[in-house]
Amino acid sequence: MCFVKDLFWDEEECVMQLHPPYSQYVNNSRYCLHLWKPIRENIPRPPASFIGVVGLGPSEAASLLARMRARS
């Protein structure tokens, strides 16, 4: 999805994959996902700390998680 996003939008643009309520799904293909960006509005986003640890790469995050699991 990141590759497709970068084909159509700038790397600093916020784009989302939309998951509407099940009653509003339009599902013509099981294998198709859609990216969306409003034209004249900003997409509200949670603080970065709600998503993960800012500045931590995937391998560092995996290592940290392994250490945390070992302690519990």
pLDDT in tens, the chain (72 residues): 899 999 999 999 999 998 889 899 888 988 888 899 999 999 999 999 898 888 999 999 999 999 999 998
Enumerate residues 6+ apart whose C-beta is below 8 A from 34: 17, 18
Return the H-helix or E-strand segment holding 16. Answer: strand 16-17
Among residues 4, 5, 24, 21, the alpha carbon closest in space to that of 13 is found at 5
Q: What is the per-residue pLDDT for 72?
A: 80
Residue 36: strand pairing partners: 16
Q: What is the per-residue pLDDT for 9?
A: 95
Q: What is the per-residue pLDDT for 16?
A: 93
Burial annotation 52-64 (CB, 10 A radius, 16+ → b, else e)? eeeeeeeeeeeee
pTM over 0.75: no
Q: What is the per-residue pLDDT for 5?
A: 94
